[in-house]
Structure 1
Amino acid sequence: MTTILTACPAPAKLNLFLHVTGRRPDGYHLLQSAFQLIDRCDTLDFAVRDDGRIIRTNEVLGVPAESDLVIRAAHLLRDAAGRPELGADITVHKVLPMGGGVGGGSSDAATTLLVLNHLWKCGYNRASLMEMGLKLGADVPFFLFGRNAFAEGVGEELSVLRTADCWYVVIEPGVSVPTSIIFSSKLLTRDTQPVRITDFPDATKQVASSFGKNDLEMVATAHFPEVAAAVEWLGKFGNARMTGSGACVFCAFEHEHQADEVLKTLPSRWIGWKAKAMQEHPLAHLVQS
């Protein structure tokens, strides 16, 4: 039996648009968004233990092991399975920025659920893992869903969305944007008119980042001048916008060489990279639908 899996990808996501359409009585915001998987990934290594211990084997800057979504995901899965003898050594190789709006921590947690469900032979299907993942965070179910998605509700109501096969330039402006600052701000628009999935552009005809807007961007740029500067600079090359609650800023390009040309002129104070759109999560095959 395979008891070790290494270099398991946890891909980033971009929010091609993000509208806040209302607020529930419990304070959660109602959203609509298009989630796009890209091929920039954290990677995780897993080795099964039979002594019930779940251990992160390396330090992750700014994330204590006990509060890491990866460790919490492993405990959640084991508790649900009712098998206290299950354990694992987990190594997390971080590439994705924290507080960047690209879903790094949520994606790491989803990869943990996918891989350990497989290695531990828990037998949960995709819907069960998504329900479990929602307890860890609103973005986790998307990464378990396995495809690009039109999202509604608090982000957990997902429909498959075909998106353009394009390239993205992503800028890390060098600040971490706390989600709480964005959603508690008086500047936040909370009544954008809902759209339908059929309103979204045909992926075969145009790059979809021209659709809609990110309602959170106005708040983030007001609080964090570097985010505003990155949006303005990248906007010289196309329709630039922030992803998630920030801080990363992205712009879509039809061809890789266009992304390369933009990155050649990137101001040195920022980190920038290119990524290719993906239509499916690289670990989607590990779980039954």
Structure 2
Amino acid sequence: MEPAVSAGGWSSWPAPAKLNLFLRITGRRPDGYHLLQTVFQLLDWGDSLRLRVRGDGRIQRAGAEGYAVPEAEDLVVRAAKLLQKEANTPLGADIVVEKRIPLGGGFGGGSSDAATVLVALDQLWGTRLGEDRLAALGLALGADVPVFVRGRSAWAEGVGEVLTPLVLPLASYLLVDPGVSVPTAELFQAPGLTRDAPPATISDFVSGPLLGNVFEPVLRRRSEAVASALDALSRLGPAALTGTGGGCFARFGARAEAEAALARLPAGMRAWVADGVDVSPLHRALSAYRD
């Protein structure tokens, strides 16, 4: 997928969604951050960003009427300013985010948007910081940003930034958004949350069933909508929660199976099908742009 470049200087870049195929907490660092284990599955579906380089150094978000996040707090604006400062470039950018990924659902929308800004503007500005520096900048914005910067489905540890790329079995996923968003910090403080699970290994993940999401029982108790979504999905296939949002998914070996399951969901559920990918659409777009 090559980024489309219009006559007005705009280029379009993908910002894919992700799933956490499992998620557990194995302890805490001395600074209080929780130590995690998870597998990030990148998807072939997500948001799109349009970027246009400015020569006056200004960074502004355009076309954001009705967008829920104030511009000063938006990760895409913060990412662009962070890159601008790190690279000491006089260039700026106009940014348009075309949202498809639900906010707060655990599908990684904000983190992926920020990563796309870092990766694409590094190319468009000619700053060439390299993947390692961009991933470090991403980590300053959020724990999920580095996996999108690096652009590979991966086993993750630490706070989510210690990544081992994985080649995952081909799969299609039925995704459901119950419309529930709970602040991540609040979930991490939930009573009864298991914070000392024994560490798993990659072989545990490869050879065994889904290892589960530590936040699933918490969100089941807190939200009838999440519980209903998980119950509906579990009647169609192995169901799980993704990330720390209310988003849920079920895995299928073929897209036709996922599409058939979608048709069997109760009416009114916000749901769609996406395919898993090992290499991010963003990195495929970057390779095409460079060529």
TM bucket normalised to smaller? over 0.9
Matched, 1:140 2:140: no
Note if contact 1:217-1:246 (Cα within 8 Å) is conserved in structure 2. Answer: no
Aligned-pair distance for 1:58? 1.7
Note if contact 2:180-2:225 (Cα within 8 Å) is conserved in structure 1. Answer: yes
Task: Using the TM superposition, name which of 264-273 and 38-47 deviates more.
Answer: 264-273
Matched, 1:71 2:41: no
Q: Which of 182, 186, 204 is 2:187 aligned to?
A: 182
* 1:38 corresponding residue in structure 2: 43
Note if contact 2:144-2:161 (Cα within 8 Å) is conserved in structure 1. Answer: yes
Cα deviations across residues 82-135 of structure 1 (Å, max 9, x unaligned)?
Answer: 12x211111100000001000000000000001000000001111110011000
Structure 1 moving runs of 4+ over 4 Å: none
Question: How many residue pairs align between the two structures?
Answer: 280
Output aligned runs, 1:172-211, within 5 Å: 172-201=177-206, 210-211=209-210
Q: Aligned partners of 2:24, 2:10: CA distance in 1, in Å?
A: 38
- Aligned-residue Cα RMSD (Å) equals 1.7
Aligned-pair distance for 1:5? 4.7
**Between the two proteins, what is the percent identity of the paired residues?**
47
Q: Aligned partners of 1:9, 1:86: CA distance in 2, in Å?
A: 22
Q: TM-score, normalised to structure 2's length?
A: 0.92
Task: Using the TM superposition, name which of 173-182 and 17-26 deviates more.
Answer: 173-182
* 1:9 corresponding residue in structure 2: 14
* 1:205 corresponding residue in structure 2: none
Q: Aligned partners of 2:13, 2:88: CA distance in 1, in Å?
A: 25
Matched, 1:115 2:120: yes
Cα deviations across residues 265-287 of structure 1 (Å, max 9, x unaligned)?
Answer: 22233200000011101222538
* 1:28 corresponding residue in structure 2: 33
Q: Which of 57, 60, 65 is 1:55 aligned to?
A: 60
Q: Aligned partners of 2:246, 2:184: CA distance in 1, in Å?
A: 10
Any stretches of 5+ residues in structure 2 without a counterpart?
Answer: none
Aligned-pair distance for 1:177? 2.4
Aligned-pair distance for 1:19? 0.8
Q: Aligned partners of 1:4, 1:38: CA distance in 2, in Å?
A: 28
Q: Aligned partners of 1:265, 1:6: CA distance in 2, in Å?
A: 38
Note if contact 1:16-1:33 (Cα within 8 Å) is conserved in structure 2. Answer: yes
Q: Aligned partners of 2:184, 2:235: CA distance in 1, in Å?
A: 27
* 1:19 corresponding residue in structure 2: 24
Supply the AA of the counterpart residue of 1:63: V
Q: TM-score, normalised to structure 1's length?
A: 0.93
Cα deviations across residues 51-103 of structure 1 (Å, max 9, x unaligned)?
Answer: 011010022521011100000000000000112x2111111000000010000
Q: Which of 139, 143, 167 is 1:162 aligned to?
A: 167
Q: Aligned partners of 1:7, 1:52: CA distance in 2, in Å?
A: 20
Q: Aligned partners of 1:246, 1:129: CA distance in 2, in Å?
A: 25
Aligned-pair distance for 1:212? 0.7
Cα deviations across residues 172-205 of structure 1 (Å, max 9, x unaligned)?
Answer: 1122222122111012100111011232216xxx
